[in-house]
Amino acid sequence: MLRVNSDPSRIVSVTLSGTAGGLWGGTQKAISGTLTIKPGYKFRTSLGLQRTDASLDAPVGDFVRTIWTARTNYSFNTNMFVDAFAQYDPDTKQFNTNIRLNVIHHPLSDLFIVYNEQRITDGVNVNPGRSIILKATQMVAF
């Protein structure tokens, strides 16, 4: 595995990586890259690409897969932030989105509100899957 990173404390940073070798019962060659822009301490966004060329034993066989990703984070303050993640697979035309609001009301006690959407387009129909999740954690001292 080879990995190259530029300085992540800069406004613009890049990460590149490559892998070649074994994967389960076969082999793989994978490359990935991420471009991150961080104009201030409250906001960060990145765009990534991952491409994998694998040759596996039956029943899977050979495949090449490309995945595009986008990630954004905004911190309102030290106790509240929002994360958004999107992923697109052009081969299957599948698009996934996940948006999460995190509120820290006490140390180790959080409230998460998550919106998740999945879209699969087959050229004619769009089959969405959507969910809203509410999760609360509370630290209890014994």
CA distance 13 to 111: 31
Strand 43-55 relative to strand 109-121, pairing: unpaired
pLDDT tens readout for residues 80-130: 999 999 999 998 888 999 999 999 988 889 999 999 999 887 766 677 789
Share of the chain above pLDDT 90, in %: 66
User: What is the pLDDT, as a whole number, of residue 141?
Assistant: 83
The pLDDT, as a whole number, for residue 121 is 73
pLDDT in the model for residue 84: 98
At residue 81, the pLDDT reads: 97
Average pLDDT, stretch 47-73?
90
Mean per-residue pLDDT over the chain, rounded: 91
- At residue 12, the pLDDT reads 97
Q: How far apart are CA 104 and CA 5, in angstroms?
A: 31
With cut-offs at 50, 70 and 90, classify the pLDDT of residue 73: very high
